[in-house]
Amino acid sequence: DTEVTQTPKHLVMGMTNKKSLKCEQHMGHRAMYWYKQKAKKPPELMFVYSYEKLSINESVPSRFSPECPNSSLLNLHLHALQPEDSALYLCASSQGTSGGVYEQFFGPGTRLTVL
Amino acid sequence: GESVGLHLPTLSVQEGDNSIINCAYSNSASDYFIWYKQESGKGPQFIIDIRSNMDKRQGQRVTVLLNKTVKHLSLQIAATQPGDSAVYFCADQDGRDNYGQNFVFGPGTRLSVLP
């Protein structure tokens, strides 16, 4: 299985809602990532987990809360979002976490709209 | 901080012609580079990579050239096909990044293949 899956595919939420995005991979990868991608822009790194521990937080507002329950799953909890948070949220995974560089495999993304 | 950019935001080519997509990077410590292809509604897909100790790498119908002197990267696609229509991103990684995780994406080039 060489796939990263993300659910839901689309999400519409109000500014007072709480929702979660889910990501799963079964490639045995030990690093997992959340990216945010606005229309016609490149992906921007948000969070990195290495061996289920948060290793990089790119100064993301606290209304985004990541969680890595196990080595195959990555969640992104959303609360009190703003309309400008509407974007495509991409999950990725890679084999290694240190001592080298590793290709990142991306999921299809969740298209989030905040009303 | 480092940044990765592209010279052209859009590129239109005739089917069957060769395509060349360019990328400039500014971080002289970058030592690993990836080209990704992103089709509409999908996550980025790995095309080809190259390390800084190489200046050329070939794949199936694709070639990546690296010129470290001028910090320039290019992706050549031979015999461009309609299925090659997508946005192409280059991404680089700082060799000092011990985690091997933090890639910086360029702004992207949209390739349109004309019939």
pLDDT tens-digit profile of B3-59?
Answer: 455 445 899 999 999 999 999 998 888 888 999 999 998 999 999 999 999 999 999
- For residue B81, the tally of other CB atoms under 10 A from its CB is 12
All residues at 6 or more sequence positions from B68 whose CB lies less than 8 Å from its CB, including other chains:
B52, B55
Please list every residue in chain B whose beta carbon sits closer than 8 Å to the beta carbon of residue A41. 107-108
From chain A, the residues in CB contact with B36 under 8 A are 106
pLDDT at A6 over 50: yes
Average pLDDT over residues A49-67: 91
Please tell me which residue of chain B has the smallest CA distance to A50. Answer: B99
Other beta carbons within 10 angstroms of residue A18's beta carbon come to: 12
CA–CA gap between residue A24 and residue B112 (Å, rounded): 32
Length in residues, chain B? 115
Write the single-letter amino acid at A96. G
The residue of chain B nearest to residue A58, with distances taken between CA atoms, is B102
Structure tokens at A31: 């690093």
Q: What residues in A contact B27, CB-CB < 8 Å? A: none
* Minimal CA separation from B59 to chain A, in Å: 15
Q: What is the structure's pLDDT at B72?
A: 95
